[in-house]
Amino acid sequence: FVCYSFAGILFLLFEVISADYIGDQTYTMAISQEQLGEFEAAFQRFAGGKDVLTRDALKTEMRALGFKPTEAELKEMMKEASSSGSTDSITFTEFQTMLSDRMSRLDPADDIVQAFECFDPHMTGFISQNTFRDMCLEGGDRLTEREVRDIMKLGESSDNPGHLDYGDLVSKMCGTK
């Protein structure tokens, strides 16, 4: 899937900060009650209040979120998630398991860099600090001004003043640098 929303970047950053790492840079995390509630709300929205989520409904919602899964990818996702091997629909429990499994296989550094690249149309490796600040603060109170300043200081570019070197920031936050 090609692009993330900025909320997706923040989600990945928060997950990296709170994750338990294992050797290959993938990590495991427990699904919190809050996340479980978010999964359930997403399932209900995607499924339109029904007991099952259809492949077409999943495709529509994923595209609305900026993802571009192919029909083959959708079928594979549904087949992997379904206890019966169905490629047409899944239950909430299967949906929850699918999301939990996918979250546990994240490579945080790679995923976060890919997310930042969505906001770097010229692929320079930098985004402006003002853009970063605005995006962090406009979506509600997910980050405080101080948290934003601390993150920006961590990713501050000496070669490109006023910009974040997001590759460097991600390396520092993921402990790969």
C-alpha dihedral over 52, 54, 58, 64, to 10 degrees?
A: -100
Q: Tell me how crowded residue 57 is: count the other CB atoms within 10 A of its CB.
A: 17
Q: Is the pLDDT assigned to residue 134 strictly greater than 50? A: yes
Digit-coded pLDDT (tens) for 103-123: 666 666 777 788 788 788 889
pLDDT at 63: 73
pLDDT at 162: 92
- pTM, 2 dp: 0.48
Digit-coded pLDDT (tens) for 152-163: 888 898 889 999
Contact 85, 79 (CB under 8 A): yes
Per-residue pLDDT band for 51 (boundaries 50, 70, 90) equals very high
Q: Is the pLDDT assigned to residue 142 strictly greater than 90? A: no
Name residue 91's beta-bridge partners: 52
